[in-house]
Amino acid sequence: MTADNQYPNVFVGQAIQLPEQVQSAIAKGVTSSRASFDKAAEYAKENLKAVEKIVLAAQTGSKEIGEKVLGNAETNAKAAFEAAATLASAKTLPEFAQLQTNFIQQQLSVMHRQNQELFQLSAQLAQQTFATLNSAVAKNFEQFKKIS
């Protein structure tokens, strides 16, 4: 027993051989562990690819929606400036009121159409994103069943 270790060094200087069955079991365990690790690493890589697809689908959808909203805002702003120019040319109060009423009716129709298009685009993109997600979940579930 050494001063800094309270346990005796009973195996120091002794060459103890491990039984062949133990060596074989250790080797098989290492091989099996390596194979399991390699499978898990491959599944992790595939899962990462699936997550990337889901994120890409969501980003693409967000970009398309953003572009649509920006396009609608630009269209509406142009229409408002055109309406203002038309209103400025009105000669009488009844003509002004009629021009403004026409613009409001026209804009309500345009905005209704824009909202429908935006809703359809949102629904389509959500459906595509969820389809990608469902596919990834199903694939991961199948991989999990193989591991178990």
Q: Is residue 109 part of a domain?
A: yes
pLDDT over threshold 60, residue 1: no
Range of the domain at 88: 20-147
Cα 85 from chain centroid? 45
Q: What are the tens digits of pLDDT across the range 23-47?
A: 888 999 999 899 888 888 888 888 7
pLDDT over threshold 70, residue 51: yes
pLDDT over threshold 70, residue 13: no
pLDDT over threshold 70, residue 148: no
Please name the amino acid found at residue 93: L
Residue 92: pLDDT band with limits 50, 70, 90: very high
Domain count, the chain: 1
Q: Is residue 62 part of a domain?
A: yes
Q: Is residue 13 part of a domain?
A: no
Q: Is residue 9 part of a domain?
A: no
Q: Is residue 2 part of a domain?
A: no
Residue 73: pLDDT band with limits 50, 70, 90: very high
CA–CA gap between residue 132 and residue 11 (Å, rounded): 59
CA–CA gap between residue 47 and residue 43 (Å, rounded): 6
Q: Is residue 8 part of a domain?
A: no
Q: Is residue 3 part of a domain?
A: no
Q: What is the pLDDT of residue 42?
A: 84
CA–CA gap between residue 82 and residue 103 (Å, rounded): 10
- DSSP, residue by residue, the chain: --TT-SS--TTTT--PPPPHHHHHHHHHHHHHHHHHHHHHHHHHHHHHHHHHHHHHHHHHHHHHHHHHHHHHHHHHHHHHHHHHHHHHT--SHHHHHHHHHHHHHHHHHHHHHHHHHHHHHHHHHHHHHHHHHHHHHHHHHHHHHHH-
Structure-token match 């060094």, residue found: 9
pLDDT over threshold 90, residue 140: no
Nearest 5°: phi and psi at 70? -65, -40
Q: Is residue 4 part of a domain?
A: no
